[in-house]
Amino acid sequence: MNENNKQVILEAVNLTKKYDDGVLALDNLNFAIYENEIFAMLGGNGAGKTTTINIFLNLLEPTSGDAKVCGVSSHIEPLVVKKNLAYVSENVMLYPNFTALQNLDFFSQLGGQDSLTKDHYQEVLIRVGLAEQVHNNKLKGFSKGMRQKCGIAIAILKDTKAILFDEPTSGLDPKAGYEFIQLLNDLKGEGKAVLMSTHDIFRAKEAADTIAIMNDGKFLMKEKASTLFDKDLESLYMQYMAGHAPQPASEGV
Amino acid sequence: MLKTLVEKEIREIIGSPKFTYTFIVCLVLILLSFYSGAVSYKDNVTHWEAAKAENLQSFEGIKEWYRVQENRIFLPPQPLATLVSGVSNDIGRTSNIEPSGEVTADDSRYNEEPAYAYFRFIDLEFIFLVVLALFAIMLGYDAICGEKEKGTLKLCLSNAIPRTKFLMGKFIGAFSVLSISLIISIGLGCLLLPLLGVHLSSEEWIRLGLIVVAGLLYFGLFLAMSVMVSSFTQRTATSFLILLIIWISSTLILPRVAVMVSGRAVDVPTVDELGYQKAMYATEQWKSFLNSLDNYTPIENEDMEEVMANFNKFMDSISIAREERMNIYRSRLNEQRYNKELERSQIAFALARISPSSSLSLASSTLAGTSPELKDQFYQQAKNYQTSLKEFLNEKTGMNMGGGFIMTISESDAPEKDPIDPTEIPQFKFEPESLSKSVQKALPDFGLLILFNCIFIAGAFVSFNRYDAR
Ligand SMILES: Nc1ncnc2c1ncn2[C@@H]1O[C@H](COP(=O)(O)OP(=O)(O)OP(=O)(O)O)[C@@H](O)[C@H]1O
Ligand SMILES: [Mg+2]
């Protein structure tokens, strides 16, 4: 359980999920994400990324295996697990008739943070890039990217050991996307473990410590970003997806 | 945690336009029902007092007690009928009491004013039954599937809150919002009552309070049911549709079907059939009465007074005997019919109670004193009154009143007699059922309402725990 004396935060052990209709969405998946680590799952539509995240959130029961957070299985003690997890969905939806601040207040309290003040909320909203003049606007007037920023703010406020991002950069403009990567690095610096699913190869390479390419519920590749440092991730991805696993010592670009 | 959820729920409901409309409609309808109830109560009181005065008037100029052949009695209007009309407008409220013979009641309000019968009055009970249930549905149909459609359910459940708590928050939030708006509306209505000249006794206030409690239980169960349906449907439109179907069947269809089914199950002879049988028997008795009269030979005596006394004595004996036989026959028929009727209505009510709307109706009308039993209560008390009227007249006239001939001598030169004093005639005073008895009778329906609440709340928890929140 140790990699340079770091603690494992998120862990999948032989994680398998077969849906009722017979689709094998996760096929004996194994990974471990340590504190101070950003783990990116790349993969096509239907690869099983959201399924993985849903099992961590106990919205799905695994068919077999475990999804563990700080050593606790999500389907055995979901409430303990959820205390240590923050989550940002691919399309953040909040209460449309509440303002940004009201939404933040409600979700922070749900997340167990009940001593936060308006100042905290505003600070975090500014940190995720939401201008102060919209903090008191109702969510129904927000664009997708603005909602995404609120969602990220909620995850930050929950202040957990692990954060799950499902396609966090979808809907963010280039500047916000860039800022999001900065933010991820900040969070990592605070010791958090981040599991992020994404279609964005560029951002994945930029931010992640570990990158996995997923297809049909399996990892085709799982590498430290440092070892991929000089490789063209995009062509690598294409090769994997086409079913030709490149030789271990494939040449760089 | 629960507090956060409840607060959010309340804030969300109060901030939504649907609540504003709901509250305004609720307030307007309730005030309207209080107003129209009060106005119609006062009409009824005026009507009742006029009828009583007119009845007294009809005795004017009568000098002999034996000429008082009948007295009309009237069921007084009940103040709570303004809020829960029950059967109060349907049953006969006037009864012509003769010293002997059948006691019947007629002149129902709806009989006199058919337009009202057609559209019925809007009373508080109707508002509870139909409108409140609909509001509960409107507040609850999207409790869970709406959060899912909005996309907020997943984010909520990614926090360490047990699903039961989440559901409780929904339920308590919606319940408190609507019950507070209801209590505000009813409170304003109650303030209106004395201004409109309707004064409730403290016992009637307690009854009204209990009716409101029944209404809240009914609202609670519809809310729980809506939350339950919302937690096994994926889409708000589906949930709303299912709930509308349940709403219509339970408020409008089920109770009527129950009465229809029980009508088929138990055959009750109609009043006309009974009337025919009684008339046949009466004719028979009349014939034998006349026969005995034929066989009467007046005594030989010079003294007219004695002849007359003898005749009257004979008359009394045969008419009392006839009357007794008729009474026995009539009451046997009536009792048979009453028992059948009772059996039928028991079946009807038992079946109808599948729908909680029936429980609410029965509980609230029992508490308001306007349940179907009102008819029986009036009938029983009218019968008792008949006895006391008969005793009174017998005493006044020294004869057995009713059902025979009376021989009198009119002495043209006798001194002018004073007219009778009609206020001496015993007054009819309707005794409503005691509070404790009403409560006792309403208790099973309260129990059913609570049971339905528990069932639906449990159902909501079970289905939400299995709900696919993704
Ligand atoms: N409720 C479900 N019932 C049956 N099969 C499902 C269900 N949800 C997902 N699947 C299947 O499971 C597989 C993995 O789906 P998943 O949503 O995890 O993919 P994903 O990697 O998140 O895709 P995307 O990038 O499009 O979001 C797919 O083949 C999908 O069809
Ligand atoms: Mg997905």
State pLDDT tens for residues A71-126.
999 999 999 999 999 999 988 999 999 999 999 999 999 999 988 999 999 999 99
Mark yes or no for CB contact B162/A60 under 8 Å: no
Encode burial over B383-408: b for 16+ CB neighbours within 10 A, e otherwise. Answer: eebbeebbebbeebbebbbbbbebee
* Predicted local distance difference test score (pLDDT) of residue B266: 82
- A92·B8 Cβ contact <8 A: no
In Å, how far are A90, B24, B162, B262, B460 from A61, measured between CA atoms? 21, 46, 16, 50, 21
B401 Cα: distance to centroid of ligand 2 (angstroms): 95
Residue A17 C-alpha, separation from nearest chain B C-alpha, in angstroms? 15
Over residues B342-368, the mean pLDDT reads 90
What is the β-pairing status of strands A162-166 and A193-198? Answer: parallel
Chain position carrying tokens 């508002």: B127
Q: Tell if the CB–CB gap between B158 and A85 is shorter than 8 Å.
A: yes
SS3 label, residue A103: helix
Contact assessment for residue B167 and residue B460, using Cβ atoms and an 8 Å cutoff: yes
Residue B87's pLDDT is: 82
Q: Which of A83-97, B67-81, B123-137, B301-315 has the highest mean pLDDT?
A: A83-97
The two beta strands, B71-74 and A218-224, are unpaired
User: What's the start-to-end Cα distance of chain B, in Å?
Assistant: 22
Mutate to test the interface with B, among A17, A21, A110 (most CBs of B within 10 A): A110
For the CA of A198, the nearest ligand: 1
- pLDDT tens figures, B256-266: 888 888 888 88
Q: Do A158 and B5 touch (CB under 8 A)?
A: no
> Distance between CA atoms of B366 and A75, rounded to whole angstroms?
52
**pLDDT tens per residue, range B372-385:** 888 888 888 988 88
pLDDT for A149 beyond 80: yes
DSSP state string for A160-223:
-SEEEEESTTTT--HHHHHHHHHHHHHHHHTT-EEEEEES-HHHHHHH-SEEEEEETTEEEEEE
Nearest CA-CA distance, residue A244 and chain B, Å: 34
Q: A121 versus A233: which is more confidently predicted?
A: A121
**How far is the C-alpha of A6 from the C-alpha of A106, rounded, in Å?**
33
Flag if A95 and B12 touch (Cβ within 8 Å).
yes
CA distance A153 to chain B (A): 13
Residue A252 in this model has a pLDDT that exceeds 50: no
- Per the CB < 8 Å rule, is A109 touching B1? yes
Question: In Å, how far are B44, B130, B254 from B353, measured between CA atoms?
Answer: 31, 16, 9
Weakest-pLDDT range from B79-88, B376-385, B396-405 = B396-405
Residues in the ligand 1 pocket, defined by CB under 6 Å: A 19, 21, 23, 25, 43, 45-51
Ligand 1 atom showing the smallest separation from residue A90 Cα: 27
B157–A57: do the CB atoms touch at under 8 Å? yes
Q: What is the pLDDT of residues B410-441, one digit of tens each?
A: 555 556 677 788 788 888 889 889 999 999 99
Q: What angle do CA A100, A74, A218 make, to 5 degrees?
A: 100
In a mutagenesis test of the A interface, which of B155, B156, B170 is the best target, namely the one with the most A β-carbons within 10 Å? B155
The answer to whether the CB of B404 falls within 8 A of the CB of B315 is: yes
Nearest residue in B to A164, CA atom: B158
Ligand closest to CA B468: 1
- Please check the confidence at residue B407 and state whether its pLDDT lies above 50: yes
Out of A62-66, B308-312, B429-433, the most confident range is A62-66
Average pLDDT of the residues in B92-118: 75
Mutation for B interface: A49, A87, A93, most B CBs within 10 A: A93
Q: Reply yes or no on whether the pLDDT at B351 is more than 70.
A: yes
A139 → chain B, closest CA residue: B150
Please compute, for residue B252, the number of CA atoms within 13 A of its CA located in the half-sphere on the CB side: 8
Higher-scoring residue by pLDDT: B143, B266: B143
**By percentage, how much of chain A surpasses pLDDT 70?**
94
Residue A57, pLDDT score? 94
ipTM: 0.91
Per-residue pLDDT tens digits for A152-205: 999 999 999 999 999 988 878 888 888 889 889 989 999 999 999 998 888 888
> For chain A, which residues lie within 8 Å of any Cβ of chain B, measuring from their own Cβ?
54, 57, 59-60, 79-80, 82-83, 85-87, 89, 91-98, 102, 106-107, 109-112, 114, 151, 154, 158
Whole-number Å distance between alpha carbons of A85 and A158: 8
Mean pLDDT to the nearest integer, B311-335: 84
Residue B305 buriedness (CB in 10 A; 0-12 / 13-18 / 19+): exposed
**What pLDDT is attached to residue A250?**
43
Distance CA B176, CA B161 (A): 21
By percentage, how much of chain B surpasses pLDDT 70? Answer: 94
The residue among A3, A55, A7 whose CA lies nearest residue A29 is A55
- Give residue B94's pLDDT: 85
d(CA B21, CA B27): 10
Q: Which two tokens stand for residue B134?
A: 């609909």
Would you call A106 and B8 a contact, using CB atoms and an 8 Å cutoff?
A: yes
Residues on chain A touching B5 (C-beta within 8 angstroms): 110
Q: What are the chain A neighbours of B163 within 8 Å (beta carbons)?
A: none
Residue of B11, B155, B160 with shortest CB distance to A107: B155
